[in-house]
Amino acid sequence: MSTGVCIIAGAKAMSFAISLFSLTWTHSVQKTEWQEEWALTPAGLQLTVARVKGSGAGMEPGDGAVLKNGWWEWQPKNPPVSELRLAASGATGGGWKLCHDEGCVELGAEAGDGVVIAQCSDRHSRLQQ
């Protein structure tokens, strides 16, 4: 049973009792911001909205994108995933910012810092102990 989001970032583990979160980061080549909104569902983590503040190498807005307040925004049609694995390149000057109703946390700020985001389960709870 899911009880929120569990995050393992390097040697640090944390969890949040949330069902919605956003991820924001800077593209390593174009230095342009990306945003994604995620929801926890029975099938896994579901990407519900994506935004990019511009376009360029590897940053093309998705199908049906609309320009809103300087951001290209669209609703991706990707299936849910069991976890997100993020790898820090060190080329962006920072990592990812994960935000939810209670606040924000920066993840993967150092090059080589791996981050795993998943719905909490008994397996993830044991990893944190």
C-alpha distances (whole Å) from 116 to each of 24, 46, 58, 76, 86 are: 15, 15, 22, 21, 6
pLDDT score for 68 = 92
Per-residue pLDDT of the chain (129 residues; tens, 9 = 90+): 457 999 988 778 999 999 999 999 886 666 788 899 999 999 999 999 999 987 766 667 888 999 999 899 999 999 999 999 987 666 556 788 999 998 999 887 666 678 999 999 855 444 444
pLDDT score for 91 = 56
pTM over 0.85: no
